[in-house]
Amino acid sequence: MDFRNVTDLFADPAFDGYPVMIREVKGEKELTDQDIHPEEDQDVIDPETGQPVDFEEEITAEYPTQPAIIQGGEIVSDSRQKIYVAGVDVSVLNERAQSLEIWYWEHKLPEGIKTYSKTKPIQKSEFDGLKKWWKKHKENEQAWKVSIDTIAANDYNLDIKNPHILEEKHVYSSAELVTMLHESFRKSDELLQQLRKELENG
């Protein structure tokens, strides 16, 4: 099958070199006996050398059977330690380690920012302190560790606050104090009304 005369490219010397032999046969032209049975003694001429091509000539050139490593380093094979189970040599596919403590790191917001937003997103540079601490774990104001016993006693709730920072007391504003006082008076009034009804019915 010829898709859009693709095979015609092989007749172009600039595409695939000089063709060895091309015989143009048009579609409406019938094939001759020479086309079907070409002469066996007809030589095929190499266009580059001009000499007949000997297809029975043996190739005497020696080609490497192994790939050559160019500028390669020394190949080192590290032997693994053999492990035997019940006298059978086994291979370790995976190892499991158990951690008896969990490290915590508190990420502090930059000065002047109360929360992140689209206009004020978190910056990569804010993790520089964490990356520096990660190389050598050590407790400080932002980092602490909790044992598995403490986590179990906390009903495995991993939401554990930073023990190095004391819980800040909330300072109420004047409006909040007035609201709290009004709510207290409302509850007191409800209790007085309930007490009055009980006295009247008693």
In a domain, 31, yes or no: yes
The pLDDT of residue 46 is 76
In a domain, 71, yes or no: no
Q: Tens digit of pLDDT per residue, the chain (202 long)?
A: 556 666 666 666 676 665 556 666 666 677 777 666 666 666 777 777 888 877 666 666 566 666 666 666 666 666 667 778 888 888 777 778 788 899 999 998 888 888 899 988 999 999 999 999 998 889 999 999 999 999 999 999 999 888 887 766 667 788 888 888 989 998 899 988 888 888 888 6
Determine the structural domain holding residue 130 and report its residue range.
Answer: 101-153
In a domain, 1, yes or no: no
Q: Indicate whether 149 and 105 sit together in one domain.
A: yes
Sign of CA dihedral 12, 13, 15, 21: positive
In a domain, 145, yes or no: yes
Which of 137, 143, 145, 147 has its CA nearest to residue 100?
Answer: 147
The pLDDT of residue 153 is 92
In a domain, 17, yes or no: yes
Q: Indicate whether 133 and 173 sit together in one domain.
A: no
The pLDDT of residue 131 is 92
Cα(19)–Cα(57) distance, integer angstroms: 20
Q: Indicate whether 106 and 139 sit together in one domain.
A: yes
Cα(137)–Cα(178) distance, integer angstroms: 48
Based on the structure, what is the number of domains in the chain? 3
In a domain, 72, yes or no: no
In a domain, 49, yes or no: no
Q: Indicate whether 148 and 184 sit together in one domain.
A: no
Say if CB 144 and CB 104 are below 8 A apart.
yes
Which of 62, 22, 28, 24 has its CA nearest to residue 45?
Answer: 22
In a domain, 184, yes or no: yes
The pLDDT of residue 147 is 92
Q: Indicate whether 142 and 118 sit together in one domain.
A: yes
Q: Indicate whether 105 and 145 sit together in one domain.
A: yes
Which of 143, 140, 145, 138 has its CA nearest to residue 101?
Answer: 145
